[in-house]
Amino acid sequence: MSDSRAAILSRIRDLNLEKKEHPVIPDFEKNGDVKSQFINSLVASHVSVIEGNLDTSLFEQITSKNDIIYSNVDELSSLSTIQKDQLEDQLTLSSLDHVIVRGEIGVGENGAIWLPEINIEKRVMSFITLHLIVIVSKNDLVHDMHQAYSKIKELPGFGLFVAGPSKTADIEQSLVIGAHGPKRMTVLLTD
């Protein structure tokens, strides 16, 4: 194995290519109202958007009685119908109806939301649930991906930009929502 390492590196170095500089990424002009851009992007990606506060009554409208819910947002922990340690069981994970997590950054140009590992408890959780609910504060919105990446100061072991429910168009380019992961996604935009 290490033989190949040395071989690959020396094959590259033997070429003696003239080194080119890394370019400077300019500060692109940001235009327009970031909140409406964010909402428009999400709606275009089949995400339901609610504006409001962290009020548990809000969730009665988007969940049903016997649903399995896990909230990783402290203020909404009373909504959880299962305990944290039950997430170790794959069958429980696979039967999750709603997962509630907090997003750190929302991006206007594409509706992407940054979910660092610490906000999602188990990595698979936001993929395996039927319905993903993400809380985003209006203060955490940025215009584009350059701003978003510059806001990520601490690198999590795993982090995710999520921009909508799971989807595919692999059969004749017909869009189908809910390929493997969530069939629904809701964003609660708070003040």
Q: How far apart are CB 67 and another protein at their closest, in Å?
A: 18
Q: Which of 80, 110, 119, 186 binds another protein (CB under 8 A)?
A: 110
Pairing assessment for the beta strands 176-177 and 167-168 based on DSSP bridges: antiparallel
Q: Which of 28, 52, 55, 56 binds another protein (CB under 8 A)?
A: 28
Q: Which of 81, 86, 178, 190 binds another protein (CB under 8 A)?
A: 178
Q: How far apart are CB 46 and another protein at their closest, in Å?
A: 10
> How many residues bind to another protein according to rule CB under 8 A?
70
Q: Which of 43, 45, 58, 62 binds another protein (CB under 8 A)?
A: 45
Q: Which of 61, 83, 180, 191 binds another protein (CB under 8 A)?
A: 180
Question: How many Å is the Cα radius of gyration of the chain?
Answer: 20
**Residue 113 carries which side chain, given as an amino acid letter?**
I
Which residue, 95, 103, 100, is CA-closest to 72?
A: 100
Question: Which residues have a Cβ under 8 Å from the Cβ of 107 and sit 6 or more positions away?
Answer: 38, 41, 113, 114, 141, 142, 143, 144, 145, 147, 148, 161
User: Per-residue x/- mask for another protein, residues 88 to 107, rule CB under 8 A?
Assistant: --x---x------------x
**Does residue 8 interact with another protein by CB under 8 A?**
yes
Residue 131, classed as helix, strand or coil, is strand
Pairing assessment for the beta strands 131-137 and 69-71 based on DSSP bridges: unpaired
Q: How far apart are CB 70 and another protein at their closest, in Å?
A: 15
On whether the CB atoms of residues 124 and 91 are closer than 8 A, the answer is no
Residue 179, classed as helix, strand or coil, is coil
- Where does this chain bind another protein (CB under 8 A)? 1-2, 4-5, 7-9, 11-13, 15, 17-23, 25-26, 28-29, 41, 44-45, 90, 94, 107, 109-112, 122-124, 127-128, 144-146, 148-150, 152, 155-174, 176, 178-182
